[in-house]
Amino acid sequence: MHPLQCVLRAQRCLRRGPLASVSWLLLRTCRAHSSVPSSACPSPERQQEDGVWKDFSSRLATGPTFQDFLRSASVPPEQPSSSEVEDPPPYLTVDELLGRQRRVYLETYGCQMNVNDTEIAWSILQKSGYLRTSNLQEADVILLVTCSIRGKAEQTIWNRLHQLKSLKSKRLRSRVPLRIGILGCMAERLKEEILNREKMVDILAGPDAYRDLPRLLAVAESGQQAANVLLSLDETYADVMPVQTSPSATSAFVSIMRGCDNMCSYCIVPFTRGRERSRPVASILEEVRKLSEQGLKEVTLLGQNVNSFRDNSEVQFNNAVSTNLSRGFSTNYKAKQGGLRFAHLLDQVSRIDPEMRIRFTSPHPKDFPDEVLQLIHERDNICKQIHLPAQSGSSRVLEAMRRGYSREAYVELIQHIRESIPGVSLSSDFIAGFCGETEEDHLQTVSLLREVRYNIGFLFAYSMRQTRAYHRLKDDIPEEVKLRRLEELITVFREEATKANKSFVGCTQLVLVEGPSKRSATDLCGRNDGNLKVIFADVEMEDATDSGLRVRAQPGDYVLVKITSASSQTLKGHVLCKTTLKDSTAYC
């Protein structure tokens, strides 16, 4: 029998009904094929549990059918708690699906979406009876939540896997075997390559397959490699409440949509995270309400393309109103219609708790209609901070990147935003050395950085991925040129950001306190409305919310800080008093 005992190419994921995705689900067994190295098979100590193994083996031999796999993908939306597991696939028992107090160690790489995904994965495993540990040595299961955006991100994971290999091989026989899993974008992108290259990897779960983790881990218990990399058209984990891992945290990420339809020519995200889909407004509001009740003071609405949010779950809102794009912007996909849009969501979320700051990331410049800008301007608790990823300052490169705008349209949008939201803080992403980028193109990016003067910037050297650019363009900029250009962009960004941030000196900023500064035990750190880090001495101050009492700032407090100095990344100042968000605003 072929080692890939079951490779299913399913046109339709039956998970949630007829709307479905093209992808695949894979269960791999090692004993079925003699050429599979023994390292992939159960170790001798595992065979002590041979009763289980043989039983599993014989059940596997009489084996799951095609229908069984489809049924196993059809997990009901409400993940059952351990005592509620009713209908395991025929090749597993209810008991095997339970975590049985196995300890899970989760490690997160990459963007904030992955931080949120880690919490979702953990929420699902916790319900299945797993325990969490922050001690690697104590773990029975190690799960890496991975990123594929650039080659370097993937290399980090390969290196980490080599370290974990020795942990696995040195595992004491008296303990249950250590299981290792790759979750997220890299699992989605590299699928079989990971299973083949790293025999010590037991499970793979793509970004839309976290509900399947208990089943995958149950299969792995018997020494099998198991994978689910199905992408879905409608999975938003709307009903999975992420577990806030740090109880003292002042802020949280709330995922509002997944996937991306933009297909920028350099970007792997649409391939690893699938089609764009939005979470129903009601479930987002419920999560934000709960976070507010827990005392959190800031939520960041999260997605690859947040401002193209469109909740189509309520049929009555599916009117024929089509998308209102920013002037001079176009999309790579057919115009979408109807649904509840981002302005509606932002409005509703910001009404929940006037003391809760609202941010969002990452938006795309094309989706900034006036009602969104107006709302940001009007509402005290929506931060006056917009991330506006430009990627390049050259219209020619922007076209090759398929960004859907020219430099001129982007600059016009910046001007419009600055007029609509005075004092707005701007941040951006840039890529240096994209295919065909000339020195002249590069200088145009330099000049855009000077012209806009961003407060915060994320700059990257182009990393070839298997995307449209890989197939149609040439990665023709030598690595040293990419790095030299990146250095130049960073230098210019820093010079300009320093100038922009110096304009805060002498001003009073409303700061949400996060906790002690990493650099000095006598300082505290927090963030202003524009998301800049603000450092100030931890001293007694007046509590303006409690008739002038003298207090020390605590995480989650709002304080007014008079800014005395600024760099490209940080503001410094002295604290004036404790206050509330609605009773005070920043001033100069």
> Using CB under 6 A as the criterion, which residues of the chain lie in contact with ligand SAM when the complex forms?
111, 149-150, 266-267, 269, 304-305, 362, 364, 389, 391, 429, 431, 460, 462-463, 465
Task: Please report how close the Cβ of residue 263 comes to ligand SF4 at its closest, in angstroms.
Answer: 6
Query: How many residues bind ligand SF4, per CB under 6 A?
Result: 10
Query: Which C-beta is closer to ligand SF4: that of 258 or that of 407?
Result: 258
Query: Which C-beta is closer to ligand SAM: that of 153 or that of 230?
Result: 153
Query: Which C-beta is closer to ligand SAM: that of 130 or that of 266?
Result: 266
Q: For residue 2, which amino acid is it?
A: H
* Residue 252's binding partner out of ligand SAM, ligand SF4, none, with CB under 5 to 8 Å set by partner kind: none
3-state secondary structure of 20: coil
Q: Nearest to ligand SAM by Cβ — which residue? A: 389
Q: How far is CA 424 from CA 83, 89, 91, 390, 531, in A?
A: 51, 54, 57, 17, 11
Task: Please report how close the Cβ of residue 402 comes to ligand SF4 at its closest, in angstroms.
Answer: 8
223, 168 contact by CB (below 8 A) = no
Residue among 188, 224, 218 at smallest CA distance from 23: 188
* Strand partners of residue 131: 103
Give 480's contacts (C-beta < 8 A, 6+ positions apart).
none
Among 27, 264, 417, 459, binds ligand SF4 (CB under 6 A): 264
Task: Please report how close the Cβ of residue 430 comes to ligand SAM at its closest, in angstroms.
Answer: 6
Residue 251 is a binding residue for ligand SF4 (CB under 6 A) = no
* Residue 270's binding partner out of ligand SAM, ligand SF4, none, with CB under 5 to 8 Å set by partner kind: ligand SF4
Query: Which C-beta is closer to ligand SAM: that of 66 or that of 333?
Result: 333
Q: For residues 72 and 88, give the distance between their C-alpha atoms in angstroms, rounded to a whole number.
A: 8
Among 179, 279, 297, 364, binds ligand SF4 (CB under 6 A): 364
Query: Which C-beta is closer to ligand SF4: that of 401 or that of 477?
Result: 401
Per the structure block, which two tokens stand in for 515?
């906790």
Side-chain-side CA neighbours of residue 531 (13 Å)? 23
Residue 304 is a binding residue for ligand SF4 (CB under 6 A) = yes
Task: Please report how close the Cβ of residue 149 comes to ligand SF4 at its closest, in angstroms.
Answer: 8
DSSP code, position 11: S
State the pairing for strand pair 523-527/508-516: antiparallel
Query: Which C-beta is closer to ligand SF4: that of 367 or that of 496?
Result: 367
Tokens 């990344």: give the residue.
569
Q: For residues 262 and 364, give the distance between their C-alpha atoms in angstroms, rounded to a whole number.
A: 9
Q: Which residues between 33 and 62 bind ligand SF4 (CB under 6 A)?
A: none
Residue 262 is a binding residue for ligand SF4 (CB under 6 A) = yes
Residue among 348, 238, 367 at smallest CA distance from 305: 367
Residue 260 is a binding residue for ligand SF4 (CB under 6 A) = yes
DSSP code, position 5: -
* Residue 500's binding partner out of ligand SF4, ligand SAM, none, with CB under 5 to 8 Å set by partner kind: none
Q: For residues 512 and 505, give the distance between their C-alpha atoms in angstroms, rounded to a whole number.
A: 18
CA angle, 230 then 232 then 235, to 5°:
120
Q: For residues 121 and 117, give the distance between their C-alpha atoms in angstroms, rounded to a whole number.
A: 6
Among 72, 228, 251, 305, binds ligand SF4 (CB under 6 A): 305
Task: Please report how close the Cβ of residue 365 comes to ligand SF4 at its closest, in angstroms.
Answer: 10
147, 267 contact by CB (below 8 A) = no
Query: Which C-beta is closer to ligand SAM: that of 215 or that of 364?
Result: 364
Query: Which C-beta is closer to ligand SF4: that of 114 or that of 225?
Result: 114
DSSP code, position 7: E
250, 516 contact by CB (below 8 A) = no
* Residue 528's binding partner out of ligand SF4, ligand SAM, none, with CB under 5 to 8 Å set by partner kind: none
* Residue 433's binding partner out of ligand SAM, ligand SF4, none, with CB under 5 to 8 Å set by partner kind: none
3-state helix, strand, coil in the chain (%, to 5): 35, 20, 45
**452: enclosing H helix or E strand:** helix 439-452
Residue among 399, 372, 385 at smallest CA distance from 428: 385
Q: Which residues between 529 and 558 bind ligand SF4 (CB under 6 A)?
A: none
Query: Which C-beta is closer to ligand SAM: that of 385 or that of 509?
Result: 385
Task: Please report how close the Cβ of residue 410 comes to ligand SAM at its closest, in angstroms.
Answer: 12
Query: Which C-beta is closer to ligand SAM: that of 40 or that of 113?
Result: 113
Task: Please report how close the Cβ of residue 332 comes to ligand SAM at its closest, in angstroms.
Answer: 12
**367: enclosing H helix or E strand:** none
Query: Which C-beta is closer to ligand SF4: that of 264 or that of 325?
Result: 264
Task: Please report how close the Cβ of residue 364 comes to ligand SF4 at its closest, in angstroms.
Answer: 5
DSSP code, position 94: H
Which x/- pattern, by CB under 6 A, does the window 133-152 give for ligand SF4?
A: --------------------
Candidates 14-22, 107-115, 263-271, 546-554 — which segment interacts with ligand SF4 by CB under 6 A? 263-271
* Residue 116's binding partner out of ligand SF4, ligand SAM, none, with CB under 5 to 8 Å set by partner kind: none
Buried b vs exposed e over 481-509: b needs ≥16 C-beta within 10 Å?
A: bbeebbebbbebbeebbeebbeebeebbb
Residue 114 is a binding residue for ligand SF4 (CB under 6 A) = no
122, 107 contact by CB (below 8 A) = no
Binding site for ligand SF4 (CB under 6 A): 260, 262-264, 267, 269-270, 304-305, 364
